[in-house]
Amino acid sequence: MRLITYNTATNPAPRIGVRVGHRVLDIEAGSRVDGEPLPGTMKTLLREGRGALSRVQALAKAAQSNAGRYSGAMVEERAIRFLPPIPDPDKFLCVGKNYRAHLEELKKHDLIKEMPQEVTGFVKLTSSLVGHNAKVAKPDSVEHLDYEPELVFVIGRRALGVTPDDDAMDYVVGVTLLNDLTDRDMQKREVASGSRFWTSKNAPGFGPLGPEIVTMDEVGDPYDLWITCSVNGEERMRVNTGDQIWKMPDILEHFSRTIPIEPGDMFSTGAPGGVAVGKANAKDLFLQPGDVVECSIEGITTLRTTIVSPSSLQ
């Protein structure tokens, strides 16, 4: 399934839907056609568990075979505005220093002090998140804005004290994409000062997320996926997730030792190698207003973002 949070020009309130071809079935409205309404937010839906997701899957199949019955709950994809699939996660934890190729890039530019010995991470603030097709303002003060496409795991059930004997993927409902936009100059200052907060990654709009949650039955092996990034149609990177150092079992075991991980929480698993800062012609590759950035899980989904000047959003 492809689960989406969206709104429309006529209804600005967030809604959740499931893709049915090139249309989106409003989950709450569609569920009323046949009985008890399903929840109206993604976090609440995930908290309802596998039974609720099975109902959504059945609804999508029914709408595909009998579109007329659900016409009042369907909307054309071109008519929606994508919001982050989970706009209000309790926890969005980003794993840092997790691709071997990217670590080599960062070492060359003094953006890491030492190689990690265990999982490291930082918090992505909800206020930085925007959806698919968003316009993101590049502040005038940011000279070197970089792209970082990252695979994100979405948690589907509560996890606490996960051990290596547990099936970590059983806690995962699906995946989505983050473009972890980064102010490289600020990041360098934060590394030098020992900061763990990463203001460089949390400015408003610096968290394009989406376009959808792709459930694990449509993903296959999450450690044999190609993550790509193109700018204005030019491919800048193509890296396999098998290059990750810390896999989902390591990540979930590390963070769930003392912190309850709840449905709707997310883990971004780090930037692959190939970002602008790691290349000899970096100054020509940093993002500028007018650039269209497409991050993809190849063959599965694509997240598109347009970089603009602050004045264009006023």
Residues 130 and 256 in one domain: yes
Sign of CA dihedral 268, 304, 46, 65: negative
Domain boundary pick from 83, 106, 135:
83
Cα dist from 125 to 39, 137, 147, 202, whole Å: 24, 17, 17, 6
**What is the mean predicted confidence (pLDDT) over 224-231?**
97
Confidence of residue 295 (pLDDT cuts 50, 70, 90): very high
Residues 178 and 61 in one domain: no
At 184-207, the pLDDT tens digits run: 999 989 988 888 788 999 999 999
Residue 113: the pLDDT is 60
Burial class (CB in 10 A: 0-12, 13-18, 19+), 82: buried
Residues 149 and 232 in one domain: yes
Averaged confidence pLDDT in the chain: 93
Lowest mean pLDDT among 34-38, 59-63, 106-110, 298-302: 106-110
Residues 166 and 242 in one domain: yes
Residues 162 and 285 in one domain: yes
| CA atoms of 97 and 244, how far apart (whole Å) | 9
Range of the domain at 18: 2-83
Confidence of residue 34 (pLDDT cuts 50, 70, 90): confident
Omega before 211 within 30 of 0, i.e. cis: yes
Confidence of residue 119 (pLDDT cuts 50, 70, 90): confident
State the amino acid at position 174 in one-letter form.
G
Residues 39 and 169 in one domain: no
182 neighbors 229 (Cβ within 8 angstroms): no
Residue 226 has pLDDT above 70, yes or no: yes
Residues 47 and 196 in one domain: no
Residue 110 has pLDDT above 70, yes or no: no
Q: What is the DSSP-derived secondary structure letter of residue 282? A: G
Residues 114 and 39 in one domain: no
* CATH code, domain with 76: 2.30.30.230
**DSSP 3-state of 194:** coil
- How many domains are contained in the chain? 2
pTM of the shown model: 0.94
| CA atoms of 74 and 65, how far apart (whole Å) | 13
At 274-283, the pLDDT tens digits run: 899 888 899 9
Residues 128 and 238 in one domain: yes
Residue 107: the pLDDT is 62
Domain boundary pick from 25, 53, 83:
83
* CATH code, domain with 300: 3.90.850.10
* Residue 297 β-bridge partners: 227, 301
Residue 111: the pLDDT is 62
Confidence of residue 74 (pLDDT cuts 50, 70, 90): very high
Residues 246 and 133 in one domain: yes
Residues 77 and 97 in one domain: no
Lowest mean pLDDT among 21-30, 112-121, 194-203, 207-216: 112-121
| CA atoms of 187 and 203, how far apart (whole Å) | 12
Residues 298 and 259 in one domain: yes
Domain boundary pick from 22, 55, 83:
83
